[in-house]
Structure 1
Amino acid sequence: MAPLGEETPLIGERSCSLSSTETGTLQVYLYHRVAPGAAGVLTFTFGKYTAEELCVHAAKACGVLPVCHPLFALATEDLSCWFPPNHLFTVDEVCSQVVVYRIRFLFPSWCGLGQSHRFQLLNDRASPVLDYPVIDYLFAQSRSDFIGGRMAMALSLPQQEECLGLAVLDMLRIAKEKHQSPSEVFSHVSYKSCIPAPLRCQIQQHSFLTRKRIRHRFSKSLRKLGGCQPDGCCLKLKYLLDLERLQRRWAEESFLVRTTGSAKDITIHVAGESGVSWSCSGSEVRQHFCDFPDIADISIKQASGDGAAVENRVVTLTKTDNRVLEVEFPSLRDALSCVALIDGYYRLTADAHHYFCKEVAPPRLLEDLENQCHGPISSEFAVNKLKVAGSRPGLFLLRRSPQDFDSFLLTVCTETRSGRDYKRCLIRKDEDGSWGLSGVPRRFCSLRDLLGTYRRCGLQAEGAPMRLAACCPPQPRGDGRGWGVTSLHGVCDVTAWVV
């Protein structure tokens, strides 16, 4: 399978199914990989895998760090539904399965310096929120959606101009990556391959002279912008920003449901910028229900069916002011897809260590809560948390590594001859599931077992003895009022957006 690049059809354009003819496999399709020429698919054989586990494998293949891992999720092959992070895939000899690894959680202006930007602890300059591997992936995903026709848009004359402008940026990006001049690329790559199919058809219906004029204008724009020598990443950022302006609701998801009281069909809209809203079917008027930090509870229950089992599920959203939105989904899969979306946005905007219902709880989050473990925060913020907690000798903080999915870091407050100090220990989880301190041969069957042992007998770091007296656990964020930041899972102190 070739990577999903310029030389291969986009997911939405393939005439046949992505599914492998080989039974007994689960395939995860990727839009972009770090290694040039690497296959755009990960294949898993017999066994059981959670959706989150598959996302971690995909993140490693795509160069996505743990900080940005919560932005991704798995979608069905036709992109009609999403799997919650705890969904269990069973791979056997009966059939094959195909899922797509995608960025699901997005906020406006993440790719530029608009309403939000990232503020780094050691660098007070603003920068794009997303790391470069995530920008690369978002670009490849968005380009696939745009060219594949998955972004609904009216082809008015201004929008046609915008689409052709995006094609110019795309051609410049191709030239930059292939180390060719824009003219060389333009001679063997059609600009029509960089625009949506409906626009291609519309251009094809024009007269020969009109098509020639469009091509001439495109070539002229390409040469003009090519003379500026733009950076490849800047071209991708500009592409994403222009695409966002062209399709303002590109990151919004909608769910067709029915109200439980009046049995009226309505549409639930969920977006990072506007929270949860709803509209009557066929109406453009929307009623805002809540922002994500205003949600107090979410529940899922089976709809009543006069004693007979039904597939429908009733989802109840309760706000902090006790207002309720109760709707009925046509299936459990659709209900879980919507609830997982709201649940994920809540962790990004209000409380990184919270989940609303066990049906969509991320396994890694449950593991963190059990072990009183923080997300992938930096050493500086770990030390700061210990200082806020009192900096008593023996106070320690457990956190996930910001760089490695299989590593944890232990930051311990110690008393030395020169005064109060903070030591760090690396904890590794091996492929066989065993745990151990870096450089120490002793292995443990669980993280809790490791911590319990060293709390009893102590340990050494950098030649200094340390004791683990008390843990500094993650603190709940409450209702989130007064916040001016958006956080990723467990990293609300590492990466923040000033609003």
Structure 2
Amino acid sequence: MGDSALNVNIVLENKSISVPYDSNTTAEDVCIYVCKQLNIATLTRNLFALRVTGKSIYLMPAATFTEKGSTNVDFRIRFKVANVSKLEKLDINTYNYYFHQARSDVLENKIPDIVYEKYRRELVGLGITDMYRVMLEKGISRESVESDYKKFIPKDVLKRYPFFIRKPIHDTLSKLRKSGYDASYVKAEYLRQLQNIAPEYLSECYKAVIDQKGSTCSITIKVSPYDSSEPGLKYCMDSKKEEWYLICTIDELGFISIRNDGTIEISRKNGIPFYLKFHSIPVMYSF
């Protein structure tokens, strides 16, 4: 790595890490560097990736950084293990990072599956759970945490229901203080509640086009390995966003080939290949 430095945002206390790089430094090199800084175990490093800040575009492991100061990136867990509770046993630092990433995504409305009108009570519950965690981990009084309640509840919930928040927070925190739960249990409960309302958290969606009977149609393609019934690749037409069609399951996926114009071919073990085209090469490589 060279004299130039890349700014890598991490979710822990909204900090960033300055990573030296040169023209040969890859995204994988940067991930390894940050993992070492955060004491992430070698076993779980492959769960992480770099995402372009402000965009839903991940850098492929072989991507390099050639322009000084041209890219800000986020260090994120991209791949979720089947049983999140086992992640704590694999590596506690990775587990803690996953928790704080999930917490940040909830607060910043970054989880598409969570409809705030539908899950208002659950989101308030997540906020209260997080408040109690802070009380336990930092030894802060209930009164102090309650006074900062806006830091723990998504802004959309606060805007829509400003008068129905403080009383359930006060009552529930008072009960939790008598529960005897430790911080580890509270974190696990937070993630369990999140799994219930957003089981496909960390699935990814991309815009693309397909040819349908000679006409170009805009679609959204979803990488959905966490669907409990049909984990795989799906798409919906932009004109019919409620109807999802399965391209293939993970088991049925043969291979994916790419072209320089952003076109990809998805080869399926059962059925003819599926072709689509992305709007840019970075989006194609992210997919």
TM-score band, normalised by the shorter chain?
Answer: 0.7 to 0.9
| Aligned match for 1:111, one of 84, 96, 120 | 84
Unaligned 5+ residue runs, structure 1? Answer: 1-22, 34-38, 113-117, 119-126, 205-210, 304-312, 339-499
Letter matched to residue 41 of structure 1? S
Residue aligned with 1:139, SS: helix
Structure 1 residue 222 corresponds to structure 2 residue 202: no
Report deviation, 1:91.
5.0
Taking a change above 3 Å as real, the CA distance of residues 77 and 70 of structure 1, as seen in their structure-2 partners, is same
Give distance in 1, aligned partners of 2:30 and 2:21: 14
1:195-225 residue CA offsets vs partner (Å, 9 max, x unmatched): 1111111133xxxxxx2x6312211101111
Letter matched to residue 171 of structure 1? M
| Aligned match for 1:84, one of 54, 57, 60 | 60
| Aligned match for 1:239, one of 177, 180, 190 | 190
Taking a change above 3 Å as real, the CA distance of residues 242 and 250 of structure 1, as seen in their structure-2 partners, is same
Matches within 5 A, 1:47-446: 47-48=22-23, 49-90=25-66, 92=68, 95-107=69-81, 110-112=83-85, 131-152=91-112, 153-156=114-117, 159-186=119-146, 188-189=147-148, 191-204=149-162, 211=163, 214-261=165-212, 262-273=215-226, 274-281=231-238, 282-303=240-261, 313-321=262-270, 323-338=272-287
Letter matched to residue 252 of structure 1? S
Contact kept? 1:295, 1:320, Cα under 8 Å: yes
Report deviation, 1:181.
3.6
Residue aligned with 1:284, SS: strand
Report deviation, 1:184.
4.1
Q: Which runs of 4+ in 1 moved over 4 A?
A: 127-130
Taking a change above 3 Å as real, the CA distance of residues 184 and 42 of structure 1, as seen in their structure-2 partners, is closer
Look up the match of 2:19. Answer: 44
Size of the aligned set, in residue pairs, is 276
Give distance in 2, aligned partners of 1:234 and 1:177: 12
Bigger radius of gyration: 1
Give distance in 2, aligned partners of 1:44 and 1:130: 26
Report deviation, 1:255.
1.1
Letter matched to residue 154 of structure 1? V
Report deviation, 1:167.
0.9
Taking a change above 3 Å as real, the CA distance of residues 155 and 297 of structure 1, as seen in their structure-2 partners, is closer
Report deviation, 1:32.
2.5
Letter matched to residue 157 of structure 2? L
Report deviation, 1:154.
2.9
Letter matched to residue 223 of structure 1? S
Cα RMSD (Å): 2.3
Unaligned 5+ residue runs, structure 2? Answer: none
Give distance in 2, aligned partners of 1:197 and 1:130: 34
Letter matched to residue 272 of structure 1? P
Letter matched to residue 158 of structure 2? R
Residue aligned with 2:258, SS: strand
Contact kept? 1:32, 1:62, Cα under 8 Å: no
TM-score normalised over the length of structure 1: 0.52
Contact kept? 1:24, 1:91, Cα under 8 Å: no
Report deviation, 1:130.
5.2
Residue aligned with 1:68, SS: helix
Letter matched to residue 234 of structure 2? S
